[in-house]
Structure 1
Amino acid sequence: MKMHINIQLKENRWLLIAIVIGSFFNSFMSSSLNIAMPVIDNEYHVGIAKVAWISESFLLASAVGLMLAGWLADQIGRRKTFLVGNLIFGFISLFIYFVPGFYPAVILRFIQGLGSALIMASAPALIASAFDPSRRGFVLGIQTTFTYVGLSLAPLLGGALTQIFGWRSLFLFNFIFGLAALAIMFFGVKNEWKARERNKFDFGGYAIFLVAIVALVLALDWMNKFSIIMLILSIITGYIFIRFELKKEKPFISIAFLKSNKYFTNSNFAALINYATTFAISYVLSLYLQNVRGMTPVGAGLILCFQPLMMALFSAYAGHLSDKHNPGKIASYGMAMIAFALFVIGIFLSENLPLPIIALLLAFLGFGFALFSSPNTNAVMSSADAGSYGFASAFLAFNRLFGQFISMALASAFILLSNHSHLGAIPEHALLMASKMIFVFFGLFSCLGVDLSYQRIRMKK
């Protein structure tokens, strides 16, 4: 078996290298921008709620584009989809480096998010297609490891680039990695993988889905005076979408499949909750460390890198464990550790909490995240058939990304409770209290995810 996986790794080495590079720069970009947010706000002076749209526009575009990207991966080919995604992501990074102005940057980040959707929908699907199912968790663990290497380096390297060369240098850095992944996949991988069956895309269902999601996103924008109207619109269109999809022979999202395959459904919703309670951690602690503790971006990055460093160290091993044991059980233990760490940080965070304690808690949280992430991805991909790998990969990525958007929206909401919209105007004690409330709330929310995740243990894939 060991020889078999070594042969597979050798045969697909360029495929795996391209995927891990794509995973690296995708995660590096998201996390490094969180570190740079105070600096970006100092340049644009648009306020903390608005400046968050540099991240949120990217997440929104990725989320709404993922299901279409998953269909494209299954129909036109997962390799082609990956190539186009890297092309868009890389060159938009170059455009952002040169284009001035806040609103052009937000628009370009939205387009970049569409490219990211193509990458995220195709990468796990490529791994599931090219590697044996008995070792899928191990290879997914390798991909996840490099995702977290990007997250590990982002606070330190991203902070250094921001401090020395300015925040736009982050995009030039990502342009180089985008070109590398594009070249390796184009020249090094000649095989193509796609579904055997040709399916028409449900554009009607997709249109209703877009309205529901965009309305929900606008409802979560706490400075939008039409938030209540948008929430009602989202609920109504969400109901219409479910009724519409139940009547379709080839639906955009099969509601019947989600109801019948509860293992798949619980795994995806556990991912949504997990990312909703963890993604904004670096954003919130970056504000806390730089504005309450007076640290530089590099200093804050040194503290924040402990969480993704633990993810990078243990993700491959967690994926290996999920090949031998119930991945739902391993993921549940990881999520329970995350909930515990969030509660402890929320309770004990203060103006003088020793920095080594913060680093230790982040390391503990990172270990829990490692136990959750690659086993949960393995659980999702193993509960889907080969012709639906693009859909399964896209649906998981959608839940992950929408969870990230919810996380940023909730964090912004708690900060806005201080009645200040500009970062520099928030008193230190108000920012500290907002940070504590965010972590306690995230800990409570995470308990729901633990329950969803644990229910899978008694289910069959």
Structure 2
Amino acid sequence: MGPQLGLKENWKQFSLLVLINAFVGGMIGLERSIFPQFAKLEFGVESKTALLSFIAAFGLTKAISNYFAGRLANQIGRRNLLIYGWLLALPVPFILIFAPSWNWVIFANILLGISQGFTWSSTIVMKIDLVGERNRGFAMGLNEFAGYFSVGIVAFLTGWLAQHYGVTPYPFYLGIGISIIGLLLSWIWVKDTRAFVQKEGAFTVAKPLKNVFWETTFKNKTLSSVTQAGLVNNLNDGMIWGLYPIFLKSLDFNHEQIGFLAGIYPTVWGIGQLFTGKISDHLSKKGLLFWGMLLQGLAIFGILQTSDFSQLVLISGLLGFGTAMVYPTFLTTIAEFTTPKQRAESIGVFRLWRDLGYVIGALFSGIIADLLGIDWAIGFIGFLTVVSAIIIQFRMKGRHKLWS
């Protein structure tokens, strides 16, 4: 009879992969709230452009590894790709603890970027393989919830540890435990899912893409609209990652407050996907993408309008919810418009461009912040996010109404 597609039929493996992706997200959370102070106190790095170089290094290597992960998933197997990703993550916290110079920190983020590309990509593709078409959005919502909720929780924990014990080494001890547990779970219990691809391929109605890279990037109006929005989403996330803690520090918030505000955004992003992922199975994907990107842009503009802690909590939450609306919808739209055999490669191309947004966002916002100030950098990224929403409305096929 062979493998059976469906969430109910494969709940044990699916739940395991959700748990593993929580550990994957936790590795990013290590750096989410404390890195500006870590760079300044430990290495004397104060230039915004130099500081954001670690995000650029992370984003570039993650983007490239995403692209190759799509191909490698078909060649060496999803499980093997996941294990290799965790092996690359193991030295990262040790390098951050013992780094003698800022270049070593950048090297650690190169390793982290490759690791994230392999681990996150493989868990995404494996979950899509297991559940089939019917619950794809819900599956992606759970996957991204686990990852980004963990980002938020670990960001808060590192902020708390930094406030009470210093920015190093205690916050990075979390990373040692996360990487070891993630590797053991993947190595001992995860099973490969390539057989599920063959099963689903017999029933798919999606037409094969002539050239997966060019169709996903430029030619196919739906796929390319999703790709540009993914790039802009991570472009603004790169800015929030690097500049938001500095902006908050300029408002005289302490480490614990900054950790809380930096953690609210990915936490709401993560929790929100429990609902938005399921919604994307039933409502207009175009509507979710349009309104989600628009809400992100407006929230980023809102950051500049207040210095009140409670208002910034609300704005960070709105930014997180806007991101939750689009993140699982990106992946379900790509999966819907590609064949099962081309799915991993098309998702890899999308994630290549999406995570190049980290590089572009870090470089652009860092340069603008150094030349004109942080306020200008934040405002410019907000403007680009609103433009992305407009592109979705006018280029992507389908109706734009959220309730359609």
What TM-score, normalized to structure 2? Answer: 0.86
The aligned counterpart of 1:396 is 350
The aligned counterpart of 2:139 is 139
**Which residue type is aligned with residue 278 of structure 1?**
D
The aligned counterpart of 2:62 is 62
The aligned counterpart of 1:112 is 112
Task: Choose which of 287, 291, 315 in structure 2 pairs with 1:333.
Answer: 291
Q: Secondary structure at the match of 1:271?
A: helix
The aligned counterpart of 1:360 is 314
Q: Secondary structure at the match of 2:32?
A: helix
Task: Choose which of 266, 272, 276 in structure 2 pairs with 1:318.
Answer: 276
**Which residue type is aligned with residue 12 of structure 1?**
F
The aligned counterpart of 1:218 is none
Q: CA RMSD in A?
A: 2.5
Task: Choose which of 260, 267, 290 in structure 2 pairs with 1:309.
Answer: 267
- The Cα of 1:257 is off from its aligned counterpart by 6.0
Task: Choose which of 227, 232, 239 in structure 2 pairs with 1:280.
Answer: 239
Task: Choose which of 351, 369, 387 in structure 1 pairs with 2:323.
Answer: 369
Inter-CA distance 115–312: structure 2 relative to 1 (3 Å threshold): closer
Inter-partner Cα distance in structure 2 for 1:390 and 1:51: 33
Q: Is the 8 A contact 1:271 1:399 kept in 2?
A: yes
Q: Is the 8 A contact 2:21 2:147 kept in 1?
A: no
Matches within 5 A, 1:137-286: 137-163=137-163, 164-193=165-194, 254-255=213-214, 258-286=217-245
Inter-partner Cα distance in structure 2 for 1:396 and 1:257: 7
The aligned counterpart of 1:94 is 94
Inter-partner Cα distance in structure 2 for 1:19 and 1:303: 23
- The Cα of 1:74 is off from its aligned counterpart by 1.5
Tell me whether 450-459 or 69-78 shows the greater mean CA deviation: 450-459
- The Cα of 1:358 is off from its aligned counterpart by 1.4
Tell me whether 327-336 or 163-172 shows the greater mean CA deviation: 163-172
- The Cα of 1:140 is off from its aligned counterpart by 0.8
- The Cα of 1:162 is off from its aligned counterpart by 2.6
Q: Percent identity?
A: 18
Inter-partner Cα distance in structure 2 for 1:324 and 1:104: 47
Inter-partner Cα distance in structure 2 for 1:363 and 1:445: 20
Q: Secondary structure at the match of 1:134?
A: coil
Inter-partner Cα distance in structure 1 for 2:18 and 2:300: 33
The aligned counterpart of 1:437 is 376
1:45 aligned onto 2:44: yes
Q: Is the 8 A contact 2:73 2:122 kept in 1?
A: yes
- The Cα of 1:295 is off from its aligned counterpart by 2.1
The Cα offsets for residues 5-32 of structure 1, whole Å up to 9 and x where unpaired, read as 333323533233223322x224313524
Tell me whether 320-329 or 143-152 shows the greater mean CA deviation: 143-152
- The Cα of 1:119 is off from its aligned counterpart by 1.6
- The Cα of 1:272 is off from its aligned counterpart by 0.5
The aligned counterpart of 2:203 is none
**Which residue type is aligned with residue 180 of structure 1?**
I
Tell me whether 355-364 or 303-312 shows the greater mean CA deviation: 303-312
Tell me whether 50-59 or 437-446 shows the greater mean CA deviation: 50-59
- The Cα of 1:170 is off from its aligned counterpart by 3.6
The Cα offsets for residues 351-404 of structure 1, whole Å up to 9 and x where unpaired, read as xx3211111111122111111111222112222211123212222222221112
Inter-partner Cα distance in structure 2 for 1:373 and 1:94: 31
- The Cα of 1:287 is off from its aligned counterpart by 0.8
Inter-partner Cα distance in structure 1 for 2:316 and 2:191: 41
The aligned counterpart of 1:456 is 396
Which structure's CA Rg is the greater one? 1
**Which residue type is aligned with residue 396 of structure 2?**
R
The aligned counterpart of 1:5 is 7
**Which residue type is aligned with residue 238 of structure 2?**
F
The aligned counterpart of 2:202 is none
- The Cα of 1:457 is off from its aligned counterpart by 4.4
Inter-CA distance 367–162: structure 2 relative to 1 (3 Å threshold): same
Aligned residues: 381
**Which residue type is aligned with residue 184 of structure 1?**
L
Inter-CA distance 174–310: structure 2 relative to 1 (3 Å threshold): same
Inter-partner Cα distance in structure 2 for 1:412 and 1:109: 17
Inter-partner Cα distance in structure 2 for 1:320 and 1:250: 30
**Which residue type is aligned with residue 176 of structure 1?**
G
**Which residue type is aligned with residue 328 of structure 2?**
S
Q: Is the 8 A contact 1:276 1:406 kept in 2?
A: yes
Q: Which runs of 4+ in 1 moved over 6 A?
A: none
Inter-partner Cα distance in structure 2 for 1:271 and 1:408: 15
Inter-partner Cα distance in structure 2 for 1:65 and 1:335: 25
Q: Is the 8 A contact 1:278 1:442 kept in 2?
A: no
Q: Is the 8 A contact 1:332 1:453 kept in 2?
A: yes
Mark the runs of 5 or more structure 2 residues left unpaired by the alignment: 199-208, 400-404
